Amino acid sequence: MPPTGSLVRRGLASLALGVVAQAQLWDQTIDTTYGPVKGFQYFDQATLETYFNISESNVTAYLGIPYAADTSYQNRWRPPQPRQSWNETFHAVDFGYTCPTAMSTNSSEDCLNLNIWTNAASADAKLPVMVWNQGSDLSSNIPYWYGGGMALKDVILVSFNRRDDAFGYLAHPELNEEGFNATGHYTSGNYGVLDFLEVLQWVQANIANFGGNPDRVVIAGQSFGSSQVYHAVNSPLFSGLFHGAISESGIRYPYDPMLAGLATSYNNMSAALNHGLNYTTFHNVSSIAELRTLSTEELMIGSTDSVNNTWINWVEALSCGYPDIFKPVLDGYVLPSTYLETLRNGPANDVPLITGNTKDESGASPTTNYTLAEYREYNTLRYGKDLASRFFELYPDHNNQTIAMDGWNNAARDQGKVGSWAYATQWYDSANSDFYTYYWTHAPPGQSQGAFHMSEIMYALNAMYACADYYPFTDEDYIIADQMSAYWANFAKTLDPNRGGSYTSSGLLSRWEPNSNDGKQVVMELGDAFQQQVITSPEKVNFVMEYFFQQTPY
Ligand SMILES: *[C@@H]1O[C@H](CO)[C@@H](O)[C@H](O)[C@H]1NC(C)=O
Ligand SMILES: *[C@@H]1O[C@H](CO)[C@@H](O)[C@H](O)[C@H]1NC(C)=O
Ligand SMILES: *[C@@H]1O[C@H](CO)[C@@H](O)[C@H](O)[C@H]1NC(C)=O
Ligand SMILES: *[C@@H]1O[C@H](CO)[C@@H](O)[C@H](O)[C@H]1NC(C)=O
Ligand SMILES: *[C@@H]1O[C@H](CO)[C@@H](O)[C@H](O)[C@H]1NC(C)=O
Ligand SMILES: *[C@@H]1O[C@H](CO)[C@@H](O)[C@H](O)[C@H]1NC(C)=O
Ligand SMILES: *[C@@H]1O[C@H](CO)[C@@H](O)[C@H](O)[C@H]1NC(C)=O
Ligand SMILES: *[C@@H]1O[C@H](CO)[C@@H](O)[C@H](O)[C@H]1NC(C)=O
Ligand SMILES: *[C@@H]1O[C@H](CO)[C@@H](O)[C@H](O)[C@H]1NC(C)=O
Ligand SMILES: *[C@@H]1O[C@H](CO)[C@@H](O)[C@H](O)[C@H]1NC(C)=O
Ligand SMILES: *[C@@H]1O[C@H](CO)[C@@H](O)[C@H](O)[C@H]1NC(C)=O
């Protein structure tokens, strides 16, 4: 991953162009809910010429606009609170503070801020909007999701910081009481999800002033951000605030045991309350009121711990790790129902959806290196007496370690693909909108982790210009990025990845068919090729589904 930092601000000094007939957005002061803001001309000419083969653009960026109050002390573990308005113009030229996490170096609990990249020549442009939600413990200031490339495809990109870890997901009986007083539901532990809700409400209220169309908002996210997107799809609180959704790595089948370890998992309320009570006593206090007096540094202790192996089987954890203790909570309110219930009863928000997996994630990796004996032992434990022998027939090792490692990786890939396919197929039993699935296969150059978790993002968001210092991209990468980002931008424009005119290279954009309720076992490959492919053999599909149905669903 590229290091966080103010790469764009450093690299892209603004360049005074000649006189323009109309005042550009960057010359204007824009009114927002909390006060006036001013952005800046985002691209310099060299960047435009090098990465986009154009010499000028209207892209204006606004960085670090606060969308809610400081979350420290008395505001901890509350929904985002209103911020005091400002009267002086806020110069939105630097990313705001990141929320405190184990990975953040310069953080503050005053971290609820957002960024906007817009290509609007005026506030009347009515451009579609994509709100980006990054993975767990990451900040909005990472080049993978810098928004200039989407803006150039006439989609406004909004990214934001939100609370993570214990700051975002602490549940506690006293907080449930507070939640009950405020909402009539015993709710706590979803503060980071409510931050996302607040951003979407802010977008409704303000994006028109930046040339955006509040009636065409697509939410997109990856990994933990993908689960936030999915929670929004499932939650009535989010109704009317968005019109399409992209969940990258991604929606899996509710019976997939790896859900317990992956970023898309959640805690049930009783588990979350146990964690919250333990966190409280661990900090040598007995109440939320006292926790609200501790320093950020004190609260960081134990905030990012993972559960131990009594919570997730270690064989599963080999493929997905041990999950964070603090994550969204199935509270019957913000998260109204389990994944299985939503699949059966229909989502709160029946909107077109894109989801998919990357080739080298969730257990698959080019550097998988177990011994033959480990391959046999681990898979025997994972699949159990009933299924292990069939597993070894379908994924044989031929007594050869190389072949065994291919088997390991292919099994992991099949599990992800079959799960997303099964979800897509069943989606149509209770929902009407199109459901698109993809399988990302391209390995960015200059690294050895293949098509790793996150590797599709810079292509999908047309952010190559911000990442080229970290990867030795070739022409092929830029062509792939143009295709990927055309699907993403088209989807923002028309809720259909195929329509919208966002593809600018030669030839036609390959058609991406949505999944269908007839259960056709296909997925759209994106990356090294752009074509529909069979997910895996029908025998393997049956095998994975049988395995799933032996598990406890999420
Ligand atoms: C760049 O744009 C010019 C003018 O539009 C065009 O002639 C040229 O082929 C483009 N170059 C590339 C590499 O796309
Ligand atoms: C910038 O906006 C102006 C309208 O203010 C428009 O005439 C011009 O074509 C735009 N430039 C680009 C590169 O999009
Ligand atoms: C902004 O102006 C209003 C009206 O003059 C005033 O009441 C308010 O205190 C001012 N806010 C700040 C933050 O200065
Ligand atoms: C920390 O982040 C804030 C907000 O983005 C910024 O103003 C400040 O310069 C940063 N400090 C360091 C040392 O990077
Ligand atoms: C909930 O409301 C009741 C009645 O107004 C009040 O007595 C109680 O202190 C409140 N509890 C919390 C945790 O805010
Ligand atoms: C809640 O989650 C914990 C941990 O995953 C699990 O042991 C427990 O059975 C669950 N409780 C309910 C009521 O589902
Ligand atoms: C709680 O108190 C114990 C004993 O004084 C101390 O060792 C420990 O560091 C404290 N825990 C935290 C999280 O401050
Ligand atoms: C309580 O929290 C601490 C700090 O995260 C952790 O080390 C400990 O294992 C937890 N205990 C239980 C019973 O969860
Ligand atoms: C693992 O966590 C559970 C629940 O927090 C706790 O009861 C158990 O003691 C822990 N086990 C180990 C080995 O730390
Ligand atoms: C795999 O692991 C073995 C034993 O640890 C080591 O000798 C070998 O170099 C590794 N192979 C790869 C491709 O990493
Ligand atoms: C193991 O399989 C690989 C891939 O098919 C092959 O290249 C290699 O020669 C095999 N190794 C042995 C010892 O047969």
pLDDT in tens, the chain (554 residues): 444 433 333 233 344 444 445 689 999 999 999 999 999 999 999 999 999 999 999 999 999 999 999 999 999 999 999 999 999 999 999 999 999 998 888 899 999 999 999 999 999 999 999 999 999 999 999 999 999 999 999 999 999 999 999 999 999 999 999 999 999 999 999 999 999 999 999 999 999 999 999 999 999 999 999 999 999 999 999 999 999 999 999 999 999 999 999 988 999 999 999 999 999 999 999 999 999 999 999 999 999 999 877 778 899 999 999 989 999 999 999 999 999 999 999 999 999 999 999 999 999 999 999 999 999 999 999 999 889 999 999 999 999 999 999 999 999 999 999 999 999 999 999 999 999 999 999 999 999 999 999 999 999 999 999 999 999 999 999 999 999 999 999 999 999 999 999 999 888 999 999 999 999 999 999 999 999 999 999 999 999 999 999 999 99
Is residue 18 in some structural domain?
A: no
pLDDT of residue 307: 86
The residue whose CA is least distant from atom 12 of ligand 11 is 400
Residue 70 is assigned to a structural domain of this protein = yes
> Is the CB–ligand 6 distance for residue 268 below 6 Å?
yes
**Does residue 9 fall inside a structural domain?**
no
Active site residues per annotation: 223
Q: Which helix (H) or strand (E) holds 118?
A: strand 113-118
pTM, two decimals, is 0.94
- Count: domains in the chain: 1
Is residue 176 one of the residues assigned to a domain? yes
Rounded-to-integer distance, Cα 33 and Cα 65, Å: 11
* pLDDT for residue 195: 98
Q: What interhelical angle do 224-234 and 191-206 show, nearest 10?
A: 70
- Domain assignment present for residue 2? The answer is no
Q: Is residue 10 part of a domain?
A: no
For residue 184, how far is its CA from the centre of ligand 1 (angstroms)? 60
Please report whether residue 193 resides in a domain: yes
**Domain containing 308 — which CATH number?**
3.40.50.1820
| Ligand in nearest proximity to the CA of 60 | 2
Is 281 close to ligand 7, i.e. is its CB under 6 Å away?
A: no
Adjacency order of strands within the sheet including 353-358: 40-41, 60-66, 113-118, 156-160, 127-133, 212-222, 244-248, 353-358, 435-440, 522-526, 531-534
Residue 3 lies in a domain: no
Query: Which domain covers residue 490, as residue numbers?
Result: 25-550
Give the residue, out of 33, 84, 85, 90, with the most ligand 3 atoms within 8 A of its beta carbon, to mutate for a pocket test. Answer: 85
Give the number of the atom of ligand 3 that is nearest the alpha carbon of residue 84. Answer: 13
The pLDDT of residue 22: 67
